[in-house]
Structure 1
Amino acid sequence: MRPSGLRHHHRLETRAVTRFEPNLRIPGPTSLPPSVREAGGRQMINHRGPEFAAMLGRIQTGMRPYFGTQSEIAVLSCAGTGGLEAAVVNVLSPGDRVLGVSIGAFGDRFAKIAEVYGAAVDRVSAEWGHAARPDEVRERLRGGDYRAVLLTHNETSTGVMNPIPDLAAAIHQESPETLILVDSVSALGAVPFEMDGWGTDVVVTGSQKAWMAAPGLAMVAASERAWAAMEIAQMPRFYLDLRRHRESARSGETPWTPAIAVIYQVDEGLRLMAAEGAENVFARHEACAAATRAGLEGLGFELFADAANRSTTVTAAWIPDGVDWKAFNGEVKRRGVVLAGGQGKLAGKVFRVGHLGSVTVDEILGAIATLETVSVTAGRPVEVGAAVAAAQRAAIEAGIARVPVAAGA
């Protein structure tokens, strides 16, 4: 008879270890660094007092380099979709002709918002998995009187990142008076952006993505051209009126009661990012993206997005034929790794791995190791250790960044 200790050891080997915290590999909300989580638990303060005013000012100042702008930044208490709605209703009027450039589910959403408010929306849609083509956008603008173009910087549903500088240049060349509105909810803070340099007019991001905070805030920056457009725009707006936010911000306030706990967190997240340094933040995201792609390919998963425009913050991969994804993903989750499924017409066809916010290469390697283990136990033809090694090599070749301040704060 086998000694009881070995039997107990065998049971430990076949049962998942209970984790206090999962390895949250979804494209938002992202995991909160300890100091950010603690910041959200602070006592409330007077949102019409000097402490709040100082904090709001730090957030606006701290975010400007990431937006790449000298413009004012409005901090709205709403989801990222609320920020997109603010972008639309503040600069457009019912009947305005708008070109919605869609490369996935969130591009479709941006266009739908404009339609709901009465804009005349034309669409140019890329095949899912591919970026928008500047020449195609230029062609669609030719001869049209478009008030605005709606662009998605990072399409979370497909793992594609649009070439915003090239698209903006094409728009300016063909239709220089047309406003450029950008959804950068899941990219800004993780990759460089030059709002002023590229000539974009409204840019939106969300607290729960690269900023390492809980959901609840949308940050919106507008160019001087966009601020001028707000004075003649006729779409209905009240809560999302950016002019009210601009006026209140001059006194260190927001026009309405803000999500103070999330503002605490964004303030702390920005402190951590400043300590790490923007270039290191960007390098860390690049290394994590490279490790994710190499690891998934090492496991035999085919990446969904076109290689030329893969996202730095989320990777989508096809679910292989013959794989019972519900059972496979359930085992991955039982072992402490949380992945995202497909969205819209990709539901049940792809899965997604988020790599943004406070993410480290070690967390990505852990997720790949778990996927590797589950692949082996599921009978997939996987060489043990190969995928993790491929991910490590890719991270090193990408210029692996040091462990971020956020991870240990």
Structure 2
Amino acid sequence: MQDKHYLLIPGPTPVPPSVLQAMSRPMIGHRSEEFAALHRRIQEKIKHVFQTEHEVFILTCSGTGGLEAAVANVLSPGDRVLALITGNFGERFANIARAYGAEVDEVHFGWGSDVDLAVVKEKLARGGYKAVLATHNETSTGVLNDIAGIGALVAETPALLLVDGVSSVGGVEIKMDEWHVDVLVTASQKAMMLPPGLAMIGVSPKAWRVIEENRAPRFYFSLPAARKSLEKWNTPYTPNVTLFQGLDAALDMMLAEGLENVYRRHRLLARATRNAVRALGLELLAGDACASPTVTAVKSPPGIPADDLRRVLKAEFGITFAGGQGILKGKIFRIAHMGFADKMDVMVAVSGLEMALARMNYPVELGRGVRAAQETFLGREQR
């Protein structure tokens, strides 16, 4: 069927029917009492997801816009920044800071590896950093970083911890306050189960002291302006009202399922995917100790270009996997299992992968990966 399609990329992700229905409600004025009530409801619910007692600001922009807002409000030209890089999005965060005139000390841990806390501790001991930039879930490599560990180290210094949680918040546990995260950024189109267009930013009291003293210019991305408007349950500039309505419904879904159940579901989907990939004789990019619960990166087998495999999947089976980025372009493919995802999404992904490999004359045993995923879901996986 021409219109039948399976979107299995790490953003944008499929949107649940109830969220689409909420987004189809009649438009309301963004300066109205109705919008203020909507904004207040969202604020009460999103704090649970961020695990914070402090305000979460919602900007109408992409996740990259949210990261730029974090940088613009904290950093001034000449500030020293420690950037912890495990992939493409860690590099992007560093580049944003550099664009704002910061002196960026980049530490690269390798594409497929996570942040080494011993290295972070050694770097911080030298002092002088205004901020530390970290990516919680690096979707370009399928790596999850230890934000709790990083936060404990940064908390002992004057530096602020700025975290890119764009592809983790809503699918992976993160405790903003307990883990000493000073600025946490996420976006609508990943585990939050919405179309692209909203960035959400949590800010700690420690960060506010820096933000209030910062004299660097900012306008649209001004968090002080956002805080002033939030006092009246408003936004400083025109928000995407439709996405706010969708966010309200998406948060209801997540809280009804229960956050612990949401996190458990994502871990199970990731484990089933990884077990299936191993059963097919393919190599995973990230090790089990740092594997992302929301996306799995797989090395394409010898003689099978990753992008050719992805083309077969889409053309013949209507399945879309993500490709590699940066130095991994053409070398890996990525299977997302985030947000509005369940067991059968993984079964579609694995069975489609088997058939695509067979179509490309790779010696795959059909059903082997599917069985591994099934056994995982039935609690019969091999330990």
If the length of structure 2 is used for normalisation, what is the TM-score? Answer: 0.96
SS at match of 1:239: coil
> Deviation of residue 389 (structure 1)?
0.9
Change (3 A) 1:326 1:138: closer
Runs of 4+ in 1 over 6 A off after TM superposition: none
In 1, distance between residues paired with 2:4 and 2:209?
A: 47
Q: Given residue 220 of structure 1, which amino acid in structure 2 is its aligned partner? A: I
Which of 217, 220, 226 is the equivalent residue of 1:239? 220
Q: Answer yes or no: is the 8 Å Cα contact 1:74–1:220 preserved in 2.
A: yes
Equivalent positions of 1:7-406 (< 5 A) are 18=1, 20-173=3-156, 176-334=157-315, 335-397=317-379
- TM superposition shift of 1:398: 9.6
The alpha-carbon deviation at position 397 of structure 1 amounts to 3.4
Could you tell me how far apart the structure 2 residues matched to 1:180 and 1:26 are? 28
The change in CA–CA distance for 1:249 and 1:230 in structure 2 (over 3 A counts) is: same
Q: Is the 8 A contact 1:53 1:251 kept in 2?
A: yes
Structure 1 CA distance for aligned equivalents of residues 38 and 313 of structure 2: 40
Q: What is the Cα deviation at residue 19 of structure 1?
A: 5.1
Contact 1:117 1:235 in 2 (8 A): no
Amino acid corresponding to residue 58 of structure 1 in structure 2: R
Give the CA deviation at 1:68: 1.1
Instruction: Describe the superposition over 1:8-34 as per-residue Cα deviations: whole angstroms up to 9, x where unpaired.
Output: xxxxxxxxxx15341111000000111
**SS of residue matched to 1:353:** strand
Shifted more, 250-259 versus 229-238: the winner is: 229-238
Secondary structure at the counterpart of residue 332 of structure 1: helix
Counterpart-to-counterpart distance in 1, 2:91 and 2:380: 33
- The number of aligned residues is 380
Residue 300 of structure 1 deviates from its aligned partner by 2.2
* More displaced stretch, 254-263 vs 291-300: 291-300
1:295-331, Cα deviation, whole Å (9 max, x unpaired): 2222222101122101011111111111144443222
Once the two structures are overlaid, the 10-residue window that deviates more, 229-238 or 214-223, is: 229-238
Task: Please state whether the residue corresponding to 1:315 is helix, strand or coil.
Answer: strand
Pair 1:120–1:314, CA change in 2 (3 A): same
CA contact (8 A) 2:306 2:332 kept: no
Q: Given that residues 276 and 369 in structure 2 are in contact (C-alpha distance below 8 angstroms), is that contact kept between their aligned partners in structure 1?
A: yes
Percent of paired sites with the same residue: 46
* 1:199-241: CA deviation from partner (whole Å, max 9, x where unpaired): 1100000000111000000000000111111111122211000
Aligned residues of 2:305 and 2:330 also touching (Cα < 8 A): no
Q: Which runs of 5+ in 1 are unaligned?
A: 1-17, 400-409
**1:328-387 deviations in whole A, cap 9, x for unaligned?**
322211211110000111111111111101000111111111111222232222222111
Equivalent-residue separation in structure 1 for 2:299 and 2:373 (angstroms): 18
Matched residue type, 2:300: I
**Greater shift after overlay, 123-132 or 321-330?**
321-330
Mapped partners of 1:330, 1:256: distance in 2 = 41
Q: Provide, for residues 242-277 of structure 1, a one-character-per-residue CA deviation record: whole Å limited to 9, x for no partner.
A: 111111111111110001111111111111112211
Secondary structure of 1:203's counterpart equals: strand
Give the SS at the match of 2:184: strand
Give 1:179 shift.
0.6
Give, in whole Å, the separation in 2 of the partners of 1:136 and 1:44: 51
Q: Secondary structure at the match of 2:265?
A: helix
Counterpart in the other structure of 1:12: none
1:56–1:258 Cα change, 3 Å: same
Tell which structure's C-alpha radius of gyration is larger: 1
Cα distance in structure 2, aligned partners of 1:182 and 1:270: 21
| Cα RMSD after superposing both structures | 1.5
Kept in 1: contact 2:160–2:182 (CA 8 A) = yes
For residues 172 and 305 of structure 2, what CA distance do their matches in structure 1 show? 35
What CA distance in whole angstroms lies between the structure 2 residues aligned with 1:83 and 1:320?
36
Q: Is the 8 A contact 2:305 2:331 kept in 1?
A: no
AA of the residue aligned to 1:160: V
Is contact 2:307–2:323 with CA below 8 Å preserved after alignment? no
